[in-house]
Structure 1
Amino acid sequence: MLPHLDPADVERVRGCFTDAGYTPDGVRALLGRSAHDALTRGEPEPAARASRDGGELGTLVRLFLLDGCEPEPAVTAALGDLDPLLAGRIVRRTPDGIVAGLDVRPYGEAGGDDPGSPDDANWWVVSDLDSPASRQDREHVTGVGGASLSLAAATVRRPVASLLDLGTGCGVQALHASRHAARVVGTDLAPRALALARLSCELSGVPVELREGPWLEPVAGERFDQIVSNPPFVPGPARVDYVYRDSGQAGDSALAALVADLPELLNPGGIAQLLGSWLNVRGENWPDRVRAWIPDGCDAWILQREAVDPAMHVGTWQRDAGLVPSSRSARAQATTWLDWMDAERVEGVGFGFLLLRRHHRADLAPRIVVEDLPGELTDGLGPEMAGWLDRTTWLRAHESDADLLAATLRLAPEVILERASGVGEQGWSELSTTVRRWGTPSWEHEVDDVAASLLAGCRGDLPLSELVELLAVAHDRPVDALVSGTLDPVRELVRHGLLVPADGWDPA
């Protein structure tokens, strides 16, 4: 029997959580920063100590977050009648007391810069317990992890009428989507995942349509304004060891097929955002491989966050599944996996983000950009993804040299200029000059003295054509030569947000 709660019990349990303060802010306040940070690192003992005098909230923290066994009277005091939770497999009775049957975790989204804002969302995410035995179950449903957090932070949050969470798992993306989408549909192949997603959404008071089925079958013939997906993208042999990560198809072919098919589910102008992983194959250019997946009629931005060698890839995902890489069974699995990679000439495995936008018009030329994400990812990519869409639209509207020259640009306030020098026989000599956006992602471009002067002149008061003419005079260069050498670099600087239109991103 799958985990479940009747609607009346859902309301009652939600009320118990709220009354006890079992919310993200409540748990942080009880534990304090040090113990909360330790719990985030997977070190439970400081949190256990901090929760000792926490009353009902302390009981819930130890029960659901610390794998504790709590006296039944204490759990009853916190949650009321336990029979529905026992029958629904939310908790279990043991000879020593009550233990959690599922991970029920406070989660949320800030509604503003101030903690405790009335616009904050308080949710509860229900997933399987994060124990080695549970993680090795083929049907294991993961909770709030690095992948789901990365996708949530990279998602464009603009109001839309409809959003599809493809492969919803325990429902994390659907919860976030409810904040900016009027209608949210979540799908998953696994009945257990849908049962836990239903609990997550119902406990959180978030209405989501949940449908069972593989890939795009549950929404065949429908269209959405936005799609988000954290699909089973781990490249390997054609098998399914764990439903949450393995597609059953060899390598990255399942992701390639999904990317090719998704635009058919988008309304004109709609966007799809995915996490993905692709093979770096010997003798092939990985950007060309991934670029070939994009169907006609789409813009696309593919960002590779990192690339690892086959051994690191296999070891990482074995540990993620709770396996000990040195165990006999794990070594046998690794042998099969690495043999497959050798046969397929795999030199590395890339991981990153994919953004697609379906064109409004059939005659639009596609803009497909595949590149590495520079530096460490310290901030969410959501604003950057939205900015890339705006910048691509603006560049399309200023595609001709005449339109670009007529534009008035300014340097983004977070851009800095860096000069690197080295010591030679004559003393210091300049090696390079770079302009870089401060923050994440830290896009940077090398520039010469003329380009640096041009950027310094982009203050939002003169069109680009006049700036080029002034520079031609100052540097004794022909205007036509300066124009031909300037416009393509300017387009790249606009695309990465170092140069912005003085009047904003309205393409008109």
Structure 2
Amino acid sequence: MPLSRLADVSGALVALLRRAQFTASGIRHHLGDSATGALYRGEPAAVRRAATDDSPLSFLIRFFLLHDEVPWARCREVLGEEVAQGLLRASALTVSNDRARMLIDVRPHVLSGLDQWVFSDTDASVTQHVPGPDHVLGVGSASVSLLDSVPASPVSRVLDLGTGSGVQALGQVPCAEHLTVTDVHPRALDFARATFRGAAASTAAGQAAGAAFPEVEVLQGSWFEPVAGRLFDRIITNPPFVVGPPAVGHVYRDSGLALDAASRLVLSQAPQHLLPGGTAHAVAAWVHREGESWQSRVASWLPSHGVQAWVLQRDVADPALYVGTWLRDESLDPRSSEAARRTEEWLDFFAREGVTGVGFGFVALQRLADEEPTEVVAEELHHEFQDPLGPEVEEYFVRTNWLRSLRGTDEVLSCRFSLRPSVARERVSVADTATGMGFRPAVQRLSRMDGPRFSHEVDEHIAAIVSGLHPEGLSLGEVVHLYCAAQDLDADSVLPEVSAAVVDLVRHGLLLPADLVEEESR
């Protein structure tokens, strides 16, 4: 289905949709919470029941979100002749027997605080169809997670590698001066152009008062080939990271590379395209094998110098769960013979490759000086949290760069620190089974109540020393010496342990260096 003319009409369409309150909040207000919940669960009947009146907004909901057939005359009346005919010329809708039906999705979302409309292929959760090999995804769960993990600070040049329908680039609209988006799939770029044209029209209409829509460059090609030799302040990529055999069943998720080679390719090549201090942000996946550390596997993909990486594993799936999840993603009934055949082939491949599980999560990279040894921190972040990860990623690099500037334990001890205001001290006691009565202390933790909610177990000494820190008070070393004198402890044996604990607490943002706090307050 040719979509090259979709961008010609998307600006006018988005302007119309904005005026009609066809926004995420407008639809929720119109349908009510119950029917809106049904919409996001993929239950069209409940949505249709709440949109039966003859208002323009109910029509738009049935036409664009539920893909109902509607009278062609009513379609032209609500959309206007120019927009309706433009969608027809772009093959975005079809007309038969004076009935019109949308063939693509145009869905409203709130991205980076702005109302935006994403053009993509039809979401299989609402209509009964199996996505084809060239399916272009809209805003999926991985897209939303990655959006939340990317900083929103102002930068000059942003690259969205494998843009699809343009979701990640839209998230950078408020903070980028120039956006470069690439994709190997021409159909995806047609949708992306339509998405950007609509977003530009929305910005021009005054939604983002005083803000100019960034310059957008759309390039076709594989991986980093379209931007060979070019450097960016920020790279964002939601690559086709599905771990499996070297085949392309669906362009949006399958790379044609075996196992986790797609994630390896992106992470190994991204640093070459970053300006000094620039960052890259990716959703990625990696295999787990018996006798092999997943942390070492991911670290081996990076150059030996010039990069710091923060790898956050959000979950691990066993082979059967992983395969079943992705077969359902393409709308295959797990009870069907086709699903059974595909499951056998996929699991056989995993067995031959020794795969015991598949981990997935976020990877953030920062470009360091070429002579700096690469530093990789890979950790598990399986617990739930609500705050977006993007601000934390940006602050993490500030904290780790500060730590890197220190030369040994003595410099750590000479610094002053501030306890993050959101840190809580937890004392956990459990039933005292030895005495058969009361409780006994079990563990003590310092935990953040914001961001990723990092939590560190500490002993009584560390907790007391941390309690004595003040950004305008004594240095860490001085506090330790005073504490050891009061407790009759050997300071020389305590200092290294405290220094190591403080470095870990700074890395996770429970303690903040006083000079960084001062810089932030200026």
| Superposition TM-score, scaled by structure 1 size | 0.94
Between the two proteins, the alignment pairs up a number of residues equal to 498
3-state SS in 1 of match to 2:256: coil
**Which of 326, 329, 341 pairs up with 1:332?**
341
3-state SS in 1 of match to 2:388: coil
More displaced, 11-20 or 279-288? 11-20
Q: In 1, distance between residues paired with 2:180 and 2:49? A: 41
3-state SS in 2 of match to 1:459: coil
3-state SS in 2 of match to 1:142: coil
Q: What is the aligned partner in structure 2 of residue 93 from structure 1?
A: 95
Cα deviation, residue 188, structure 1: 0.3
Q: 1:383 to 1:50 in 2, by over 3 A?
A: same
Q: What is the aligned partner in structure 1 of residue 441 from structure 2?
A: 430
Cα deviation, residue 364, structure 1: 2.5
**Which of 349, 353, 378 pairs up with 2:386?**
378
Q: What is the aligned partner in structure 1 of residue 60 from structure 2?
A: 60
**Which of 211, 236, 242 pairs up with 2:219?**
211
Q: What is the aligned partner in structure 1 of residue 169 from structure 2?
A: 174
What code does the residue aligned with 2:474 have? Answer: L
**Which of 425, 448, 452 pairs up with 2:459?**
448
Q: What is the aligned partner in structure 2 of residue 49 from structure 1?
A: 49
More displaced, 54-63 or 172-181? 54-63
3-state SS in 1 of match to 2:70: coil
Q: What is the aligned partner in structure 2 of residue 467 from structure 1?
A: 479
Cα deviation, residue 25, structure 1: 2.4
3-state SS in 2 of match to 1:424: coil
Q: In 2, distance between residues paired with 1:368 and 1:214? A: 27
Task: Check whether the contact 2:22–2:57 (CA below 8 A) recurs between aligned residues.
Answer: yes
Q: In 1, distance between residues paired with 2:33 and 2:295? A: 42
Q: 1:25 to 1:289 in 2, by over 3 A?
A: same
More displaced, 373-382 or 278-287? 373-382
Q: In 2, distance between residues paired with 1:374 and 1:236? A: 23
Q: Deviations over 1:276-297 (max 9, x none)?
A: 1110011111111111112121
Q: What is the aligned partner in structure 1 of residue 329 from structure 2?
A: 320
Q: 1:458 to 1:397 in 2, by over 3 A?
A: same
Give the unaligned 5+ runs of structure 1.
Answer: 112-120
Q: What is the aligned partner in structure 2 of residue 186 from structure 1?
A: 181
Q: 1:10 to 1:103 in 2, by over 3 A?
A: closer
Cα deviation, residue 75, structure 1: 1.4
What code does the residue aligned with 2:219 have? Answer: R
1:278 corresponds to 2:286 = yes
Superposed CA RMSD in Å reads: 1.9
Q: What is the aligned partner in structure 2 of residue 114 from structure 1?
A: none
Q: Deviations over 1:438-485 (max 9, x none)?
A: 244221111111011012112322221211111111221122111111
3-state SS in 2 of match to 1:208: strand
Cα deviation, residue 417, structure 1: 1.6
What code does the residue aligned with 1:225 have? Answer: D
Q: In 1, distance between residues paired with 2:192 and 2:46? A: 30
Q: In 2, distance between residues paired with 1:237 and 1:459? A: 55
| Superposition TM-score, scaled by structure 2 size | 0.92
Q: In 2, distance between residues paired with 1:7 and 1:191? A: 13
Task: Check whether the contact 2:316–2:359 (CA below 8 A) recurs between aligned residues.
Answer: yes
Q: Equivalences for 1:10-89 in 2 at 5 Å?
A: 10-53=10-53, 55-81=55-81, 82-89=84-91
Q: Deviations over 1:248-277 (max 9, x none)?
A: 011012211221111111111110000011
Task: Check whether the contact 1:165–1:186 (CA below 8 A) recurs between aligned residues.
Answer: yes
Cα deviation, residue 66, structure 1: 1.4
Cα deviation, residue 109, structure 1: 2.9
Q: 1:464 to 1:320 in 2, by over 3 A?
A: same
Q: 1:110 to 1:222 in 2, by over 3 A?
A: closer
Task: Check whether the contact 1:378–1:440 (CA below 8 A) recurs between aligned residues.
Answer: yes
Q: In 2, distance between residues paired with 1:356 and 1:493? A: 21
3-state SS in 2 of match to 1:392: helix
Task: Check whether the contact 1:374–1:441 (CA below 8 A) recurs between aligned residues.
Answer: no
3-state SS in 1 of match to 2:27: helix
Q: 1:242 to 1:11 in 2, by over 3 A?
A: closer
Q: Deviations over 1:408-462 (max 9, x none)?
A: 1121121112222231333422121111112442211111110110121123222
Task: Check whether the contact 1:394–1:506 (CA below 8 A) recurs between aligned residues.
Answer: no
**Which of 333, 358, 363 pairs up with 1:349?**
358
Q: Deviations over 1:42-94 (max 9, x none)?
A: 22233222222361111111111112112222211221122221120121113
Q: Deviations over 1:210-262 (max 9, x none)?
A: 11111111111111110000000000011111111111011012211221111
Q: What is the aligned partner in structure 1 of residue 156 from structure 2?
A: 161
Q: In 1, distance between residues paired with 2:448 and 2:514? A: 18
Give the unaligned 5+ runs of structure 2.
Answer: 201-212
Q: What is the aligned partner in structure 2 of residue 127 from structure 1?
A: 120
Q: 1:62 to 1:83 in 2, by over 3 A?
A: same
Task: Check whether the contact 1:184–1:208 (CA below 8 A) recurs between aligned residues.
Answer: yes
**Which of 188, 195, 205 pairs up with 2:190?**
195
Q: In 1, distance between residues paired with 2:7 and 2:97? A: 29
More displaced, 155-164 or 426-435? 426-435
3-state SS in 2 of match to 1:204: helix
Q: Structure 1 vs Structure 2: percent identity of aligned residues?
A: 39
